[in-house]
């Protein structure tokens, strides 16, 4: 689906996404994958086992900084991949069954749509927001900073699967830290995400409807 309208922030839930380079001196490096990310990994692995179409996937677990700030650490690996899809995964509590729709204000300002998919089950919503444009931009910047091929990774735990092969275990990425000099050249990533709510086409307050993110978001990258 596509959303081309800016959600009114007084009725919306606003999340701030932030990415920063992971360096060897980072005080908090490892981010353990949460239950939602493990469930995605399990689903992909089952497709591979059953002989269905499956792809290589890397999952990047976010870390909450306060109530509405989500941080992702960037290592050198992921932006060297040929990524086909990049999605932000949000699991949202929606007890009153409101219509939830995401907006990336940076896209809306340029009259570009926010692309997303959404599944509802009971009082929960699984929302996937397309961030491929963002990943491609980071690849270009990282390649420029190094003067060569792009090399970044949004640190986390990874699963590689496909073609009947067993998936690689979820791994630490300590070997992929940026040097302090290179890290200082990379721009900080700041991206706002607005979750608007409505019922029957009329905007309502997400807060009064108790719509909130129930699990720490993660990113999923599908690559060749």
Q: Is the pLDDT of residue 20 over 60?
A: yes
Q: How far apart are CA 131 and CA 140, in angstroms?
A: 15
**Average pLDDT for the chain:** 76
For the segment 48-60, what is each residue's pLDDT rounded down to a tens digit? 888 887 778 888 8
Q: How far apart are CA 129 and CA 83, in angstroms?
A: 15
Residue 218: pLDDT band (50, 70, 90) is very high
Q: Which of 84, 190, 196 is nearest to 130 (CA)?
A: 84
pLDDT of residue 167: 32
For the segment 150-184, what is each residue's pLDDT rounded down to a tens digit? 333 332 222 222 333 333 322 333 445 555 554 55
pLDDT of residue 38: 84
Q: Is the pLDDT of residue 93 over 90?
A: yes
Q: Is the pLDDT of residue 97 over 90?
A: yes
* Contact partners, residue 15, CB within 8 Å, separation at least 6: 68, 69, 70, 192, 193, 194, 195, 213, 217
Q: How far apart are CA 127 and CA 213, in angstroms?
A: 10
pLDDT of residue 201: 85
Q: How far apart are CA 144 and CA 213, in angstroms?
A: 35
Q: How far apart are CA 61 and CA 38, in angstroms?
A: 10
Q: How far apart are CA 121 and CA 18, in angstroms?
A: 29
% of the chain exceeding 70 in pLDDT: 69
Q: Which of 60, 15, 43 is nearest to 161 (CA)?
A: 43
């Amino acid at each position: 689906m596509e959303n081309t309208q800016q959600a009114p922030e007084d009725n919306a839930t606003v999340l701030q996404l932030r990415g920063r380079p992971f360096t060897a001196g980072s005080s908090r490096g490892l981010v353990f994958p949460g239950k939602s990310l493990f469930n995605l990994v399990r689903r992909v692995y089952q497709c591979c086992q059953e002989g269905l179409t499956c792809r290589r996937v890397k999952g990047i677990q976010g870390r909450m900084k306060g109530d509405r700030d989500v941080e992702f650490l960037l290592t050198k690996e992921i932006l060297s991949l040929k990524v086909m899809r990049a999605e932000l995964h949000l699991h949202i509590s929606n007890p009153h069954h409101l219509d939830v729709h995401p907006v990336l204000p940076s896209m809306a300002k340029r009259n570009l749509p926010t692309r997303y998919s959404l599944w509802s089950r009971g009082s929960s919503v699984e929302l996937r927001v397309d961030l491929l444009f963002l990943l491609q931009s980071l690849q270009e910047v990282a390649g420029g900073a190094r003067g060569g091929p792009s090399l970044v990774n949004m640190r986390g735990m990874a699963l590689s699967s496909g073609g009947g092969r067993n998936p690689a275990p979820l791994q630490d990425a300590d070997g992929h830290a940026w040097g302090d000099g290179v890290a200082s050249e990379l721009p900080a990533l700041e991206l706002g995400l607005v979750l608007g709510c409505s019922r029957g086409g009329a905007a309502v307050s997400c807060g009064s409807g108790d719509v909130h993110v129930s699990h720490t978001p993660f990113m999923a990258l599908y690559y060749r």
